[in-house]
Every structure is written in C-alpha cells, then in structure tokens.
Amino acid sequence: MIPRTGSRSFPDEAFQRQLNLDRFAFNNRCIHRHRLKYLTDFVYNERMRFISLALLLSLCGFACGDDSAPPPPPIGTDAGQDTGSVDSSMEDSGAEDGGTDGSVDASEEDAGPVCNTAEAPIATILSPIATNDPASADVVIGNRVTVECRVTVGDSPEARPVDPESVTIVRLDGDGMVADSPTVVAEASVFRAAFNLEGLNSGAMRFRCTAQDIDAMPRCAEDEIETLVDLGPQITVLMPNAGSIHTGRMDLRYSVSPAPLVEGDTLAEVAEHTLTVAGVEITDIEETEPGTYRADIDFSDMTVFEEELAGEFEFSVEATNMRTPSPGTSRHVQPFVIDRTGPTIEFLTPDAGELIGGRARVHVSAMDPAEVDDSTVILRVGRLELNMRRIGGTDEFEVFFDAATFPSTITELTLNVTAADSVGNRLTASQIVKLDAVPPIASLDPPMVRASRLLSERLQCSPLFDPLGDDSVNDGQIVGTAAEFRARVEDMTNEGTGGTSVLFHAGNRSAEIYFLDDSDQALLVDTNDDGVCDSINPDVEPVAGDPTTAVVLELEGIRPTGTIFLPPDLDFTGGTPATAYAGGSIYGDCVSGTSPSVPRQLCRESSPLGVVISPRIASTTERAIYGKPVVTPLTCIGDSFDFQGSLNEGWACAAVRTEDNLGNIGVSPAMRVCFSDGVAPSSCPGEIGDIVTTDLPSCTDGCTPPRSFVDVPRYQLIPP
C-alpha cells in the first residue's frame, strides 16, 4: 500500500529522493510493476532510504530481465542544493515507451481502495445463480429480480470490519457501465437490491456487488455474475396508440413473438397468449399471419360486455413461452378511452334572449377530450348553414351572418351549433335569440300627423300638422341660404303576425343627411337586387377635394317637448294620404279636444313648430325628430343650413342614412331640392319657397323608394 504524503516524517533530502523515485517509477513500466513492493520495503526500513538510485535500477533491471532501463533522474546538483525538479525528458518519455502517455491509472495515482486482498472484505453474490444455459433451472423468470450479496470480514488478522454504507449492488449494461443502482437493504451480512427489468429485453444480464471496510485506507471487495433473464415473449401493439379514444368499436392489432435468451433457444417459443379488454377476456381473435393478431372489439355487444362502457379503460395482452419448469411470462397493458358524448358547446355571444340584428356574430366554445373536428363545427339558423372558424389556437369558434336575410315577420331565431369530436361523437347546442333585422325608417318630408292625449278614457287628438314644422323643406321645394332640414326617424323591428307579442327594438344610433348636386350620379342604389333602394351610392361617399361626391350633414336628436293643440269641433274623417284613414282605423277613436288656444312656438320666431313629437318606442333616450345641431337657444329645434359653402346652385338630391344600435342601416326616400342664392339669374325654375312638381331629378339608379312613414299608416297617430 502506498503511504499518503505526510504519513511519516523524512529529512528534506530523503523526501526529495522519495518523490523523484516515485515519479520515475510511474514513467517506467518495469518499475511501475514493482513499485508497490519496493515502496513498502522503503517505508518500513529507513536504512534503505540512502541506497543509491543506480543500485535500485540495477536490482529492478535484474528482476525484470530488462538491462536497458533508463538511468534515474538526478536528485540534485551542487552539495546541499535540492532542486526539487525532474528532468522533463523523463517526464515525457512515456509517450514513446510502450505507447503510454506518461499518465498513471487514476485508481493507483489516487491511492484508492485495493480490492480482493487478504485484508479486504469478502463479497459473494448468492442469487441469482450465474448461468449461460437457457435450459437451466437457474434462468431468472420475470421482470422483478432481487440480487442477494453476502459481505463478510476478510480472512487476514489485519482485516477491518465491513462498512455497510459502502455496499452497492448494480446492474451493468453491455459496455460494463452502471445501468441501474437501486437502494440496498441489509439483514446481518446479506445485502439485497430489487431490480425492475420492465421494458428490457430478455437475455444475459450482469450484476455486480462491491463493498469496503472501515479502514482509513479502505480495502474493497467485489463480485460479479452474468446470468440469463427471461422476460417472456415480445408483445407489440400495432394499433391503436396508447390513450386512443373510441366510440362504439376498437380495431385492435398486435403481435406476439419469441424472445430467445441465446441463439437456438427453442424454449422461448410462444406457448399461448390471452387478450383482455376492459376486464373481459376476448376470445374472438383472428391470426392474420403467424404471430400477428386482430380483434374487432364491439363495445355495444352486450353478449361480451354486460353494460354500456364509457370512460377510461385498459386492455392487456399476456403471453407465456415454453420454458420449464417455469415459463417466461410477459404482459403489455395499454390505456384507452371510450367516448360516447360529443363536444361540450357553450354560447359566449349572443346571450339567450339577446336582441340581434345587422351583421350578427355567433361566438361559441367547443371542447372535447378527443379534440374537436373543426370541419364539423357548423351554425344552422333558419335555412342558413355556415361553417364556424376556430379562433387562433383556442377552443373558441365564430361566424357572422346577415340577420337582414330573414323576413321582417320573424321575431326570434333558434341558433343551432353542431360539433363532432375526432371519433365521430356529435352534439348540438341551441340558443334562442330575439331578432331586430329591420333598419329605422326616415323621411325628410313625412306625412302629416295627429298627436293625442288620453283624458277621462277618451283619446283627444290634435289637428293634422307637419311633425317637422311648417318651415322645414319639402320635396321639390326651391330653398334659399337658410333652409331648415329636419328628419323624422323611427326605429323599426321585426313583427310577427296573427297574435299579440312584445316588440324588441334596438333603438336608433345615428342619422345623417347626404346631399348630392351631381345629376349624373345616383344618390340611392339597390345593393341586393330586390329592386328597392337600400343604400347610399358607395361611389358618392364623401372624398376630400372631390366635388363629385356627396356632402354629409350630421343630425342630432331633438328632445320631445311642447304642448299639443287640442281644439274642439275637429273632423277626423278626411285628410291625406288616404291609406291613413281607410275605414277610420287610424283615427277612429279620436275625439275633439277642449283647448281652443294655440300653444306658443317652441323657439319664438325662429320656427313655427309648437311641439316635438315623441318616438313610438317608450324610451327616455330615443328621439323621433332630428335636426342640424343646435347652436343657440333661438334655434332650439335645429339650426338652418347654408348650402353656399358646400353645394352648387341648382338641383340637389338629399336622403337620410340611419343606423340602429345593432347595425341595421336604412335610407329615406330621396328628396329633391333646388338651392338658390337669391341672386338673378337663378338656377332654379321659380322663386324661393315654390314647390316644383315636374322635371325633378330621379336621384336613384332606377330602384323604387324604400319603406317610409307613408307605408306605415299607424305612425301618423302619435300615441299619448
């Protein structure tokens, strides 16, 4: 055993001599082989520390039969001088001496434990038994093996007790590297380690047991065996994959083949195998080719499965070979899922009963453990069938549709969203919503109306009056530079027939007047080919610096106000339009009032209008009359419009564009107006204030006017 540096005390010269001898020995293979014996004698016989290095080399050369050993390195030069160095040529000479590189094996250089000496512990693997015979009864069967190793104190009187913490039992791989090192437990002198061989291949396996004693320079023991382990036949599932999801059936395919321990191992041949699915042994198995099998599992077959299965299950294939006395057995277990339900679908928008219209969005989440098949997520509403689009990498889907495609008599829709998972389970979720797909109606020149109030359960009605005021512009009128443009706007909605139902209104969002003084272009066009004007011509949408496009005037809702004029002795049987009075159904309940005094005007002399009517929708925010935004209290029902900064003299077309809070967009019938600055010669066929009825511009692309108040007679009676 090489003593550690500092284990004894040496004079400086002797210590240097020992160091040089040690280095030289490592660079000479012969001295390297006899280093242990020499250094042991050197340490325990101090008289030999002054023997010349040349004599040592001669003795070594005689013992080795190698007279060509190189001379020893110099110890020093001048008397009393210790260089503490070694000739570099000696240090590097190992590179050419027998192929060594001048290095020393780590186990010797570090003075580590010396194994299997008389003083070392004794390690013996008791089980399993080493064997290379596949017919031996000592073949290990199964994927669990416990290795037992007995470790005892060495036979020498100088042996020290075993260090139980040092005992290791490991499995080695084919390269001799440690592949598995489980926990070791001890019972007296017998140490055990349990190995799980699952997932390994049958065949030869090596196990090693090592131990050390408690000495400061520990001595070690080791034992190693190689034996045969039979893990049973090789089972390979060809389909399905682990964790697969199925509905009614499962196509199961697998192979079972021998796993010989050594070449020519006939005992590894497959003896039999069994297939168990969800706890039921399956006997209807087809061998499609030698060693390859197929089973068509019908989960709805109640002669095989006693109840309908759903959830997580396992199937297993267990096979045995022909080895005796105990056959090798293998078992493959694989999970699968029986999924009989479709995806979970949740409506995110719209909510149940929500009012939808315009360009409506349907937004849902659809989730399923088997993954949702995107191609199956479909919205069905009425006769529409629309594929929904997945939003990014989420579980959410959306689609848009135009609610205006449904007749105005439909008041609610049932939204049906269907989705299927990857194994074909389909589910449909439904949501009922209310429908307002009808845009507001508007007019710059609406019919005359009557306002009313309820007194003593009698409906007192006013005389007919212009809801926009007598000063507002009419169709065909020649106007000057201070024209009053107002519009009546009422939000409309879908209405059913044959019964009484609550109407749901979105409410009006905006109103604006478009003016176009280019007679070569249409202001109103038909965009859906139904023959009815439904939109402002996109070609005339305002463009900065382009005089051929329209001018837009935003309107503002005017708060209902004023006092109704209810004089006595009124006749409610006449008036225009005739449709408003047919059979007296509109004003049939009207009676004369009792207030002969005419109410004062709302804005003094700026307008003769005495009342701003309320919308038919019961709302505190809705407005029925719109005008140019108010600038001063004197123009409390809208400011006048001076065309000179934006339009040319002469004929122009005007129409109102409206939009409700659901995005339903409507337009009013076109109104023809001739603008005049009052300076001769005039571009208009008459005087300011005149109404022209002939040779008026068309203002359309040939489409018929859109629905307006003249088409809804009941709107000519303003309810209390």
Residue 587 has pLDDT above 70, yes or no: yes
Residue 79 has pLDDT above 60, yes or no: no
Question: Judging by beta carbons within 10 Å of its beta carbon (0-12, 13-18, 19+), is residue 76 exposed, middle or buried?
Answer: middle
Mean pLDDT of 31-58: 39
Q: What SS3 class is residue 291?
A: coil
What pLDDT is stored for residue 571 in this prediction?
84
Considering just the CA atoms, what is the radius of gyration of the chain in Å?
53
Cα 560–chain centre separation = 52
**For tokens 């059979």, what's the residue?**
583
- Between residues 693 and 96, the one the model is more confident about: 693
**Percent share of the chain, pLDDT over 90:** 67
What pLDDT is stored for residue 1 in this prediction?
34
pLDDT digit string (tens) for 252-276?
999 999 999 999 999 999 999 999 9
What pLDDT is stored for residue 633 in this prediction?
72
What pLDDT is stored for residue 576 in this prediction?
52
**Percent share of the chain, pLDDT over 70:** 82
Adjacency order of strands within the sheet including 244-246: 244-246, 329-338, 311-321, 270-277, 280-282
**For tokens 């190189």, what's the residue?**
70
pLDDT digit string (tens) for 310-345?
999 999 999 999 999 999 999 999 999 999 899 999
What pLDDT is stored for residue 584 in this prediction?
53
For the packed helices 53-64 and 29-44, what is the interaxial angle rounded to 10 degrees?
120
What pLDDT is stored for residue 112 in this prediction?
57
Q: What is the dihedral of CA 699, 580, 623, 673, to 10 degrees?
A: 30
What pLDDT is stored for residue 76 in this prediction?
38
SS3 content of the chain, % helix, strand, coil (to 5): 15, 35, 50
Q: Extract the tokens encoding 270.
A: 């497959």
What pLDDT is stored for residue 104 in this prediction?
41
Is the backbone peptide bond immediately before 568 cis, with ω within 30 degrees of 0? no
pLDDT digit string (tens) for 601-616?
887 666 788 899 999 8
Place 291 in a pLDDT band, splitting at 50, 70 and 90.
Answer: very high
Place 113 in a pLDDT band, splitting at 50, 70 and 90.
Answer: low
Q: Extract the tokens encoding 385.
A: 């069938």
What pLDDT is stored for residue 404 in this prediction?
86
What pLDDT is stored for residue 582 in this prediction?
44
pLDDT digit string (tens) for 706-719?
999 999 988 999 99
pLDDT digit string (tens) for 178-192?
999 999 999 999 999
What pLDDT is stored for residue 51 in this prediction?
39
Q: Are 653 and 670 in contact (CB under 8 A)?
A: yes
* 421 bridge partner residues: 372
Name the nearest CA neighbour of 195 among 127, 144, 130: 144
Q: Where are the alpha helices (DSSP H) in 6-122?
A: 12-26, 29-44, 53-64, 88-92, 106-109
**For tokens 């290791």, what's the residue?**
168
Q: Extract the tokens encoding 60.
A: 């070594």
Place 638 in a pLDDT band, splitting at 50, 70 and 90.
Answer: confident
- Between residues 577 and 427, the one the model is more confident about: 427
Residue 229 has pLDDT above 80, yes or no: yes
CA 565, CA 47: separation in Å to the nearest integer?
144
Q: Are 89 and 77 in contact (CB under 8 A)?
A: no
Is the backbone peptide bond immediately before 128 cis, with ω within 30 degrees of 0? yes
Mean pLDDT of 363-384: 95
CA 712, CA 492: separation in Å to the nearest integer?
11
The 10 Å Cβ neighbour count of residue 108 is 14
Q: What SS3 class is residue 224?
A: strand
* DSSP H/E element including 520: none
Instruction: For 710-720, give one letter per residue: b (16+ CB within 10 A) or e.
Output: bebbebbbbee
pLDDT digit string (tens) for 688-708?
999 999 999 999 999 999 999
Residue 525 has pLDDT above 60, yes or no: yes
CA 619, CA 617: separation in Å to the nearest integer?
6
Residue 369 has pLDDT above 90, yes or no: no
* DSSP H/E element including 34: helix 29-44
Q: Are 72 and 54 in contact (CB under 8 A)?
A: yes
CA angle 420, 421, 426 (to 5 degrees): 35
pTM higher than the cut 0.75 = no
Q: Are 473 and 479 in contact (CB under 8 A)?
A: yes
CA 254, CA 51: separation in Å to the nearest integer?
79
Say how many CA atoms lie within 13 Å of 119 toward its Cβ.
12
Place 509 in a pLDDT band, splitting at 50, 70 and 90.
Answer: very high
pLDDT digit string (tens) for 208-219?
999 999 998 999
pLDDT digit string (tens) for 649-702?
999 999 999 999 999 999 999 999 999 998 888 899 999 999 999 999 999 999
- Between residues 630 and 576, the one the model is more confident about: 630
What pLDDT is stored for residue 33 in this prediction?
36
Place 575 in a pLDDT band, splitting at 50, 70 and 90.
Answer: low
Q: Extract the tokens encoding 304.
A: 């095989």
Q: Are 428 and 417 in contact (CB under 8 A)?
A: yes
Q: What is the DSSP letter of 90?
A: H
Pairing of strands 355-356, 426-435: parallel
| CA-CA-CA-CA torsion sign (614, 617, 622, 627) | negative
Residue 48 has pLDDT above 60, yes or no: no
What pLDDT is stored for residue 459 in this prediction?
92
CA 172, CA 194: separation in Å to the nearest integer?
14
Mean pLDDT of 97-108: 42
Q: Are 442 and 711 in contact (CB under 8 A)?
A: no
